Amino acid sequence: MSFLRTFHPVGQGTFYTEQHYEGMDVLTVVYDCVSLTPKREQFLRKVTTELPPDSVIDLLFLSHFHADHINGLDELKDRFTIRTVVLPKLTEEARILAKLENYLEYAGLSTVLIDNPQAYFGDKTLII
């Protein structure tokens, strides 16, 4: 078994991918998916270069809900099948603070991911 981990130079934010290979099988893992620095087109080019259009993301880890770690998710979920998502567990107070911070710093950022991750990703994605 071998794997390839790629840290994507996205400026402010975090985005890296792993492909784990075992024979003909590939397990794709994504950690966060975002950047506030490059233009949207540059960011999408990085995503689609690493993950061909028919890719399946087997496991998506989100470290936390700051905009500089989640604002690329709309593009990711619209372009790829995401099987499983691992989210940080939040108390109700932490959930409110995350939404408030994103609202104050990045007005207009949707709160659906924080409020109802299953609705955000859909019924075919397992949320942990």
- CATH number of the structural domain 2-122: 3.60.15.10
Per-residue confidence in pLDDT tens, the chain, 128 aa: 798 888 877 666 677 889 899 998 989 999 987 666 556 667 667 666 777 777 899 999 998 888 778 877 888 888 889 999 999 999 999 999 998 888 888 776 778 899 999 999 999 999 99
Predicted TM-score (pTM) of this structure: 0.85
- Integer angstrom CA distances of residue 109 from 14, 30, 42, 73: 17, 21, 20, 11
Which backbone phi and psi does 89 adopt, to 5 degrees?
A: -80, 130
